[in-house]
Amino acid sequence: MSKKRRGEFSDFHSPAKKIIKVQKNEGSTAFLTMRSKPSSVMESPHLIQQVAQKTPHNSITPKSPNITDFDHQKFKNIFFQTSGLETTKNRNSISDDDIDSEDELRLMIAREENLEKTTWSANEFENDPFEVVRDDFKSDFHKFHTSIGLGLKNSVSCLNSENNVMENGCDSDSGDTDEIVAMKKSSGKIENGVDFSQREKSVDKKTYLKNRKKYDLSDGCVKEQKRKNKVEIALSHRVKPLSCKSLIESSSSEDAGSVSESTECEGDKEYNTLMGNCLRVNLTLADLEQLAGSNQEAPKEKTESNGQETTAKHDKASKSQRTPGDLRRGQQCIHPEEIVASLLEGGENPRGKQKPKENTLKPKFQAFKGVGCLYGKESVKKSLQESVASNNINKDQISLKLEEPRNMSMGKWSLCANGLSNEQTPFQHGKEANDANQIQPQKRQSFASQSHKVVSPNSSEKRNRNPISSLLPLKDKKSLSCGAKTPSRGLDEDCCHRTGQSGEGSERRPDLCSSQAPEKPPEVFSRRDSQGSKPDFPLPVNSSSDVNAKDKHAEDNQKRLAALEARQKAREVQKKLVHNALANLDGHPEDKPTHIIFGSNSESETEEISTREQSHPGEELVKESMGRASGKLFDSSDDEESCSEDDNNRFRIKPQFEGRAGQKLMNLQSHFGTDDRFRMDSRFLESDSEDEHEEINEKKTAEEEELAAEKLKALNVVQSVLQISLSNSTSKGSVAAKKFKDIIHYDPTRHDHATYERKQDDKPKESKAKRKKKREEAEKLPEVSKEMYYNIATDLKQIFQTVKDTSEKEDNTPWNEDSDGEKAEVVQDTPALMTRDEQTGGFTFSFFESDAKDEKEETYRVEAVKPGKIAWQGDPRFQDSSSEEEDVTEETDDKKQSPEEVSLPEKETTRFFFFSKNDERLHGSDLFWRGVGSNISRNSWEIRTNNLRMDCRKKHKDAKRRVKPK
């Protein structure tokens, strides 16, 4: 959706596309478009008028249409948003305006979230009349939030902003487009704040609120812009477009109503929202009325000039006939005459309530700005805001930006001021009343989102603080406050009034009005705006009607607050209850008496207790309970002993239940249950029962025998049928085997069970002894036959001397004699060497030549190696396991025997370099080498394979043949 919307946004550049989109939307959207278009057309004159009114000083009328166009576009966007399908786009577009300051807004968002929530909730309340829009907005917002992330929104908003700017530029026929753009930017900034708030709202998932907030914010922004614009109007045209925008917004709603009655419903809603805003304005107006009392003339003129527009709006509003209060407000505010009358009449009323405060506030005109600040953010930064306000007045755009932070601060203040809501001065009450109209819904929403208290008090407190503390920074703060807090309420109306007021000439007045004149600001304005008394007139008129509404609202607010307090108290009470209950669980003995503890012994105790209670119902109960608890917890030893005794008695084997008769008794007993009166004693044992049982058993056995006989017969038949010899015994045996017999538990103390013991043989001991012996034997070094030994000739030189020497040695044979001639072999070796040498005529060492000689000389002896030497026999230490003892011994025996058996006769064979001819060791290797006859074997192998193949095929075919006929 977001992408589509984005793409649509791209389309948005041209208003026609928007219209098309709107057309695409449902009839409502079409209406909206219709409204927007006609409203744009209508608005343009209205706007012009408004602008003219607002900016009489500044001939902004030409610019106003452009501004109106911007506003229309924005409103269209808003309407689209209301329509729902493209509303998101519109919103985006709105947000786009804000996009410029998105970064700032983002920063602000975090700050403002809380504040905005509160403030916006108030604003949202103001927007409540746009119920239809709400629904659409919800969906749209949901879509927005869901589909697009904040960044996406920002991007979309940027696109929208661009689109809007483009549209604005397109729309703006006059050359003031730059100003308009600037205005848009400023408004966009404000809107950005709104968007942020919206985003925050979206985060809160209060789509309705968000939508409303957006409206409110947009309105508020517009108002702020208007205010700023108003301020700027004096300074620059930009102020006018802003005011125009605000006017356009209001006018657009009004125009929509005027254009089509069908659309009037929506317009009425908008108007209602606007009226709600107006109500707030009225409150301020009421204050202003008082102030205006002095400056009635100028405001009257302004109101008159505005009156046309306002009247149209009021007419529409009257048509819509929203809440009576709104109608009153709207009507009062709208009609200049009525406003004047209301101001004259109602000004007194509000004065009675608010005059003192207003008076106090009036001197604090700047405080009005502060009031604006008070709405959300300024209260905290009143001084700063004041200074900023002064700067803002000069620098409307800057002020707009600043307003946002102010709004943030306002939100903070609102949070802080939550507790102060109760302490609201009448102004506050009036504000609250104004707020109440809008705030009540806001509160509702805020209830959903936040606590009622916080929201309502914030608004009220903010307002209070604003008038009180920030009276001085009036204008900017007012505008800010209007944008922030009250914008939602009467921003539209305020804008109208403001426009009118601005038209009247006092920029501050519109600011004050925009600040929603909630109470103090208008008053302050009235004082300061001695000339701006005219706008004050409509305000007082509104205020007169508003006073009642305010009172009602104040009452409602008080009721709400009371309800909230009651809820909190109830929660606290519940928490306390829970805490107490939990604490009681920990075991206060006092609490225990209330608990009835059922124990095994409880019956007797309870009986006793009941008797005691009867005697001493009150006092002993606790004691008993105490005793119970304590006794059960700690004194249970006695009870346990008794219990154990009882249990022992219970679980003793009762002789009367032994045997079959006993079983019968047992059954009887089970019928009676555990009633002591019917306990079956041994007296109830029937001596005859056993006989009866025997008889019964005999009968049964007889029947069984019959059946068994029958079975035998059947089995016999089965045997005959199956021609199988079935042994009944086997069958019975099988049955018996299948039956589960008692397992004999081996009892070593019983001599009978000696049969189950596995007798240990004495062999293992013997085997151990044998094994030890074997180990010793194995450990013993093999006896080396002393018959063979090697005599090493010390004089190798002589042996390997040159031939000559050998010849000489031959002559000198005696060296052989010198060596110990005890063993013949050694002696033989030396002569052999001698002989070689002699034959070769010199010593030459060669493996091959020596063959013939050595073969005869040395013999290879094949001997079985003694087992003890063989490594693989394993370490005797590993033979410890008793189970293997016997086996090991056997093995060892075998091994011992083996050497004897294996002792092969020594074969003398010719020796060829470690191997002798026909060496037994090489017999096995025939498999690994192939002699010269390999070709023969290959041929034979091929022949064989062919024969085998033929045979296999034959057999396969035969098998197939056999299978086929079958």
Partner 1 sequence: MRPLTEEETRVMFEKIAKYIGENLQLLVDRPDGTYCFRLHNDRVYYVSEKILKLAANISGDKLVSLGTCFGKFTKTHKFRLHITALDYLAPYAKYKVWIKPGAEQSFLYGNHVLKSGLGRITENTSQYQGVVVYSMADVPLVGSHSIIKTTRTLCLFET
Residue 474 near residue 529, CB atoms below 8 Å:
no
Which range of residues in 2-10, 370-378, 645-653, 730-738 is near partner 1 by CB under 8 A? 730-738
Kindly tell me which of 961 and 966 has the beta carbon lying closer to partner 1.
966
* Contacting partner 1 within 380-409 (CB under 8 A): none
In a 13 Å sphere around the CA of 156, the CA atoms on its Cβ side amount to: 31
- Tally of CB atoms within 10 A around 602: 14
615/314 Cα distance (integer angstroms):
82
483/132 Cα distance (integer angstroms):
23
741 forms part of the interface with partner 1 (CB under 8 A): no
963 forms part of the interface with partner 1 (CB under 8 A): no
Which range of residues in 169-177, 413-421, 712-720, 759-767 is near partner 1 by CB under 8 A? 712-720
**Cα separations (Å) of 325 from 434, 543, 654, 777?**
10, 11, 92, 122
Kindly tell me which of 724 and 963 has the beta carbon lying closer to partner 1.
724
701 forms part of the interface with partner 1 (CB under 8 A): no
Kindly tell me which of 724 and 796 has the beta carbon lying closer to partner 1.
724
Kindly tell me which of 735 and 796 has the beta carbon lying closer to partner 1.
735
Site string for partner 1, 425-444 (x = CB under 8 A): --------------------
* Contacting partner 1 within 63-102 (CB under 8 A): none
936 forms part of the interface with partner 1 (CB under 8 A): no
Kindly tell me which of 701 and 937 has the beta carbon lying closer to partner 1.
701
298/24 Cα distance (integer angstroms):
48
Kindly tell me which of 714 and 952 has the beta carbon lying closer to partner 1.
714
When binding is defined by CB under 8 A, the residue of 582, 585, 653, 735 that contacts partner 1 is 735
Shortest Å distance, C-beta 704 to partner 1: 7
When binding is defined by CB under 8 A, the residue of 20, 170, 235, 715 that contacts partner 1 is 715
Q: How far is CA 494 from the centre of its chain?
A: 44
Shortest Å distance, C-beta 203 to partner 1: 59
When binding is defined by CB under 8 A, the residue of 563, 573, 707, 922 that contacts partner 1 is 707
Kindly tell me which of 110 and 726 has the beta carbon lying closer to partner 1.
726
Cβ contacts of residue 170 below 8 Å, gap of 6+?
A: 13, 14, 15
344 forms part of the interface with partner 1 (CB under 8 A): no
3-state secondary structure of 937: helix
710 forms part of the interface with partner 1 (CB under 8 A): yes
Tokens representing 202?
A: 């979206």
696 forms part of the interface with partner 1 (CB under 8 A): no
Which range of residues in 565-573, 578-586, 729-737, 756-764 is near partner 1 by CB under 8 A? 729-737
Tokens representing 352?
A: 């009675």
495/65 Cα distance (integer angstroms):
16
148/342 Cα distance (integer angstroms):
48
Residue 222, classified by CB atoms within 10 Å of its CB into exposed (0-12), middle (13-18) or buried (19+), is buried
Cβ contacts of residue 494 below 8 Å, gap of 6+?
A: 223, 246, 277, 278, 280, 281, 284, 482, 486, 487, 513, 514, 515, 516, 517
Which range of residues in 146-154, 259-267, 703-711, 928-936 is near partner 1 by CB under 8 A? 703-711
718 forms part of the interface with partner 1 (CB under 8 A): yes
513/498 Cα distance (integer angstroms):
5
Shortest Å distance, C-beta 721 to partner 1: 4
Tokens representing 843?
A: 């010593």
When binding is defined by CB under 8 A, the residue of 614, 720, 755, 935 that contacts partner 1 is 720
Kindly tell me which of 653 and 735 has the beta carbon lying closer to partner 1.
735
Q: Running DSSP on this structure, what letter comes out for residue 877?
A: G
734 forms part of the interface with partner 1 (CB under 8 A): yes
Closest CA to 423 of 377, 357, 368: 357
Shortest Å distance, C-beta 741 to partner 1: 14
Shortest Å distance, C-beta 732 to partner 1: 8
Number of residues that bind partner 1 (CB under 8 A): 20
Tokens representing 406?
A: 């102010």
492/479 Cα distance (integer angstroms):
13
For residues 910, 916, 921, 926, the Cα torsion angle rounded to the nearest 10 degrees is -110
Shortest Å distance, C-beta 690 to partner 1: 23
503/51 Cα distance (integer angstroms):
7
714 forms part of the interface with partner 1 (CB under 8 A): yes
Q: What angle do CA 520, 227, 111 make, to 5 degrees?
A: 80
726 forms part of the interface with partner 1 (CB under 8 A): yes
722 forms part of the interface with partner 1 (CB under 8 A): yes
When binding is defined by CB under 8 A, the residue of 738, 741, 759, 923 that contacts partner 1 is 738
Shortest Å distance, C-beta 734 to partner 1: 7
824/816 Cα distance (integer angstroms):
11
Shortest Å distance, C-beta 727 to partner 1: 11
906 forms part of the interface with partner 1 (CB under 8 A): no
Kindly tell me which of 655 and 733 has the beta carbon lying closer to partner 1.
733
702 forms part of the interface with partner 1 (CB under 8 A): no
- Tally of CB atoms within 10 A around 305: 24
Shortest Å distance, C-beta 714 to partner 1: 5
Kindly tell me which of 646 and 703 has the beta carbon lying closer to partner 1.
703
852 forms part of the interface with partner 1 (CB under 8 A): no
Q: Running DSSP on this structure, what letter comes out for residue 471?
A: B
How does 362-386 read in b/e, with b if 16+ C-beta sit within 10 Å? bebbbbbbbbbbbbbbbbbbbbbbb
- State the amino acid at position 965 in one-letter form: P
Kindly tell me which of 1 and 715 has the beta carbon lying closer to partner 1.
715
Kindly tell me which of 704 and 920 has the beta carbon lying closer to partner 1.
704
769 forms part of the interface with partner 1 (CB under 8 A): no
**3-class secondary structure for 616-641?**
CCCHHHHHHHHHHHHHHHCCHHHHHH
713 forms part of the interface with partner 1 (CB under 8 A): yes
When binding is defined by CB under 8 A, the residue of 731, 802, 918, 945 that contacts partner 1 is 731
Shortest Å distance, C-beta 966 to partner 1: 11
699 forms part of the interface with partner 1 (CB under 8 A): no
Shortest Å distance, C-beta 728 to partner 1: 8
Shortest Å distance, C-beta 959 to partner 1: 18
Which range of residues in 374-382, 406-414, 706-714, 829-837 is near partner 1 by CB under 8 A? 706-714
Closest CA to 908 of 948, 856, 960, 872: 856
Pairs from 919-923 (Cβ < 8 Å, separation ≥ 24): 919/860, 920/862
898/586 Cα distance (integer angstroms):
84
**3-class secondary structure for 500-542?**
HHHHHCCCHHHHHHHCCCCCHHHHHHHHHCCCCHHHHCHHHHH
Q: Running DSSP on this structure, what letter comes out for residue 911?
A: E
When binding is defined by CB under 8 A, the residue of 724, 781, 792, 963 that contacts partner 1 is 724
Phi-psi region of 845 (alpha: psi -120 to 50; beta: other; left: phi over 0): beta
Kindly tell me which of 23 and 728 has the beta carbon lying closer to partner 1.
728
When binding is defined by CB under 8 A, the residue of 572, 645, 704, 908 that contacts partner 1 is 704
Kindly tell me which of 570 and 708 has the beta carbon lying closer to partner 1.
708
Footprint on this chain of partner 1 (rule: CB under 8 A)? 703-704, 707-708, 710-711, 713-715, 717-718, 720-722, 724, 726, 731, 734-735, 738
